[in-house]
């Protein structure tokens, strides 16, 4: 397991950290039990004003403050008024950058994860960022938790880099323009837990 002494491993831009998180295992222990997910899909987000898809594109806010914290924090946020998604922060403190955990395979606590996800098939338990957070029992109150701090969360990197890593545009991200300008989604090819790609849909306000 990584500890605070390993924080420099995550103190790099998200596009560099993201591939290293493929195959990593994130574990969350709660009073209900322990669930661990082996990460199979991630997306990188920068915060330097050059990434229009990033929550930190326009600077620091109450919502995205954790993105500016030290590397190795859990950045949890609420989306669509109903789902929590989880990221791991990168770069030294004061610099916003994070890797969204998009999908994974349950390797510990499948029974508990199944209950949390309403009895879906094992391959779907952590497919998609909101489902991954739900299976792990991550809530908005976990925002800012240190995954390297020896608390409820722990992170273990893969012992060997995957033989093959696929890259492509991020899923449903407004601002990416549907182009190859941000090929910052990384996943393990052939892994059935990886989510389906969806381009961003422009929303039109009526009235």
Across 46-55, 72-81, 96-105, 122-131, least confident range: 46-55
Q: What is the pLDDT averaged over residues 29-52?
A: 93
- The whole-model pTM stands at 0.91
Q: What is the pLDDT of residue 49?
A: 82
Q: The tokens of 6 are what?
A: 């390993």
Q: For residue 133, what is the enclosing H or E element?
A: helix 129-136
86-117: string of b/e by CB count within 10 Å (b at 16+)?
bbbbbbeeebbbbbbbbbbbbebbeebbbebb
Query: Domain containing 129 — which CATH number?
Result: 3.10.300.10
Q: What is the pLDDT of residue 181?
A: 75
Domain assignment present for residue 41? The answer is yes
Share the mean pLDDT of the chain.
90
Domain assignment present for residue 134? The answer is yes
Q: How confident is residue 107, by pLDDT bands cut at 50, 70 and 90? A: very high
Rounded to whole angstroms, the Cα distance separating 110 from 18 reads 25
Q: How confident is residue 124, by pLDDT bands cut at 50, 70 and 90? A: very high
Rounded to whole angstroms, the Cα distance separating 94 from 74 reads 15
Residue 12 pLDDT exceeds 90 = yes
Q: What is the CB neighbour count within 10 angstroms for residue 3?
A: 12
Residue 39 pLDDT exceeds 90 = yes
Q: What is the pLDDT of residue 129?
A: 96
Q: The tokens of 137 are what?
A: 């029992």
Q: The tokens of 55 are what?
A: 């929550």
Domain assignment present for residue 16? The answer is yes
Domain assignment present for residue 80? The answer is yes
pLDDT tens digits for 180-195? 678 999 999 999 999 8
Q: How confident is residue 176, by pLDDT bands cut at 50, 70 and 90? A: low
- What's the first-to-final CA gap in the chain, in angstroms? 53
Q: How many structural domains is the chain composed of? A: 1
Domain region containing 70: 4-187
Q: Is 204 left (phi over 0), alpha (psi -120 to 50) or beta?
A: beta
Domain assignment present for residue 19? The answer is yes
Domain assignment present for residue 201? The answer is no
Residue 152 pLDDT exceeds 50 = yes
Residue 105 pLDDT exceeds 60 = yes
Residue 199 pLDDT exceeds 90 = no
Rounded to whole angstroms, the Cα distance separating 108 from 105 reads 9
Rounded to whole angstroms, the Cα distance separating 72 from 195 reads 24
pLDDT > 70 in the chain, percent: 91
Rounded to whole angstroms, the Cα distance separating 136 from 202 reads 31
Q: What is the pLDDT of residue 200?
A: 58
Q: The tokens of 89 are what?
A: 């922060």
Domain assignment present for residue 205? The answer is no
């Amino acid at each position: 397991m990584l500890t605070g002494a390993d924080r420099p491993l995550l103190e790099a831009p998200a596009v560099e950290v993201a591939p290293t998180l493929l195959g990593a295992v994130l574990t969350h222990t709660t009073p209900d039990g322990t669930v661990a997910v082996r990460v199979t899909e991630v997306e990188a987000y920068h915060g330097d004003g050059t990434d229009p898809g990033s929550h930190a594109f326009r600077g620091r806010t109450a919502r995205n403050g954790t993105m500016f914290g030290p590397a190795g924090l859990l950045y949890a946020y609420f989306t669509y008024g109903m789902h929590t998604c989880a990221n791991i922060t990168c770069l030294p403190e004061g610099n916003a950058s994070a890797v969204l955990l998009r999908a994974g395979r349950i390797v510990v606590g499948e029974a508990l994860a199944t209950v949390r996800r309403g009895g879906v098939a094992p391959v779907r338990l952590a497919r998609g960022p909101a489902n991954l957070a739900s299976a792990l029992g991550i809530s908005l109150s976990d925002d800012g938790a240190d995954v390297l701090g020896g608390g409820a969360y722990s992170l273990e990197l893969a012992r060997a880099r995957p033989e093959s890593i696929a890259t492509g545009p991020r899923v449903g991200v407004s601002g990416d323009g549907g182009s190859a300008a941000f090929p910052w989604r990384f996943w393990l090819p052939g892994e059935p837990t990886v989510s389906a790609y969806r381009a961003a849909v422009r929303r039109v306000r009526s009235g």
